[in-house]
Amino acid sequence: MRFRLTPSEPEQAEGPLTAREIELVRASAAVVEPLAADMTVYFYAILFARYPQVRPMFPPGMDAQRGRLLRALLRIVDLVDDPGGLVRFCGHLGRDHRKFGTLDAHFPAVGECLLASLARFAGPAWTEEIAAAWAKAYGVVSEVMIGAAREDAAVRPAVWPATVVHRVPRGNGIAEITLRPHLPYAYTAGQYVSVETPWWPGQWRYYSPANAPREDGTLTLHVRAVPGGTVSSALVDRAAVGDVVRLGAPMGDMVLDAAAHSDLLFVAGGTGLAPIRALVEDIALRGGRHQVDLFLGARTGAELYGVDDMLRMSQRHHWLKIRGAVSHEPIPGLRGSLPDVLAEFGPWDQHDVYLSGPARMVVSATETLTRRGTQPDRIHHDPFETPVLSLP
């Protein structure tokens, strides 16, 4: 199978898929779906055997990536008759791939191996007509990804090297790491950034700056080393002043609506405090036009980090009220999980709500708040994992 889309044949818009082609793509996807785990193992095996030059772009352990590629493909199959949704999703994917070093010329290679894998796992159900429908669908997807990446390349770099300029251990496996990007790095308070360290090339992880953009361009991350975690442990235990990491473009919609004047409820568990702290700084820089109730939570008093810093902020800013919640230790006045403690206060039904922390906490706080009248569209939080796959 030959793909039309190569760097020497610049893009021309593929026509949309016909109803018959959509049906063929969906029906064959349903045939291979139960075998998808084996199919993706096979896909990467042939990709790396036929095109060894792309292997270094991927992390050594491929387990997580296998699942993500598959979920993206299934999402694409779902969107195949929704051109607007497909362009939005594949556009994000294309921009996101710039930091991985993906080139236009890689797309035909990936397409060839993808079709070979589909053909093998669909078995006798595979026909020339199905192959042609998949080739067309893949052509459309890669055209959108390449186009979005090119547009993005016209306005910003793919990655920003950034030097570690300060590192403060905060106890309980948490460190604050301040980075100075070598090029201007524009982001909005509340967004997160992807980070690649020199110790784990190809392993990108997300961290939220804990500050609103500063004049000197530095940004401070709050990183918790998770047990057995590669990148978080390297950042907490190994990173030193002078080390250089790489940042991908900022992402995320948990930002303030500049036009809104509503009261705000912020709820932060653990290092989930980072983007919330950035939002508090942002409000202060805008002149404190909101009343803010901030709940900080942890399992034990010792883990309740960042409280002193936030109390200092609340002493400076009359609009900021702080409360703590400790779930696994009897501390007078602070006992309970964040959702339980939230339920004791309120009402929150007229607030815009920003939740940040472990997925469990975010889910249960969302349940508590919606039960008590907060509209779901006023509750904001970051995706729990691979952001591009969590796009609505």
Ligand X SMILES: Cc1cc2nc3c(=O)[nH]c(=O)nc-3n(C[C@H](O)[C@H](O)[C@H](O)COP(=O)(O)OP(=O)(O)OC[C@H]3O[C@@H](n4cnc5c(N)ncnc54)[C@H](O)[C@@H]3O)c2cc1C
Nearer to ligand HEM, 231 or 362 (CB): 231
Report how far apart, in Å, the C-alpha atoms of 175 and of each of 58, 130, 190, 221, 251 are.
27, 52, 19, 8, 22
CB 351 within 8 A of CB 334: no
Q: Which does 206 bind (CB under 5 to 8 A by kind): ligand HEM, ligand X, none?
A: ligand X
Specify the DSSP element, H or E, that contains 284: helix 273-285
102 binding ligand HEM? (CB under 6 A): yes
How do beta strands 160-171 and 379-381 pair? unpaired
Closer residue to ligand HEM (CB): 107 or 348: 107
Residues 213-272 that bind ligand X (CB under 6 A): 222-224, 226, 228-233, 271
Per-residue x/- track, 169-208, ligand X (CB under 6 A)? -----------------------x------------xxxx
At its nearest, how many Å lie between ligand HEM and the CB of residue 6?
A: 12
Residues in Cβ contact with 184 at an 8 Å cutoff, skipping those fewer than 6 apart:
217
Residue 293's Cβ-count burial label (10 Å; 0-12, 13-18, 19+) is buried
Residue 217 and residue 185: Cα distance in Å, rounded?
7
Distance in Å, CB of 207 to ligand X, minimum: 4
**Does residue 230 belong to the site contacting ligand HEM (CB under 6 A)?**
no
- The yes or no reply on residue 48 touching ligand X (CB under 6 A) is no
Binding string to ligand X for residues 263 to 292, with x set by CB under 6 A, is what? --------x--x------------------
Cβ-based nearer residue to ligand X, 163 or 230: 230
User: What is the maximal distance between C-alpha atoms in the chain?
Assistant: 71
Instruction: Residue 341: name its binding partner from ligand HEM, ligand X, none (Cβ under 5 to 8 Å by kind).
Output: none
Nearest CB to ligand X, comparing residues 137 and 276: 276
- DSSP annotation of 236 reads I
Q: How far is CA 172 from CA 10, 116, 120, 233, 309, in A?
A: 53, 49, 49, 12, 17
Which residue, among 65, 98, 95, has the nearest Cα to 246 in the 3D structure? 98
The residues in 348-387 that bind ligand X, with binding defined as CB under 6 A, are: 382-383, 385, 387
* Residues of the shown chain interacting with ligand X in the complex, contacts defined by CB under 6 A: 192, 205-208, 222-224, 226, 228-233, 271, 274, 382-383, 385, 387
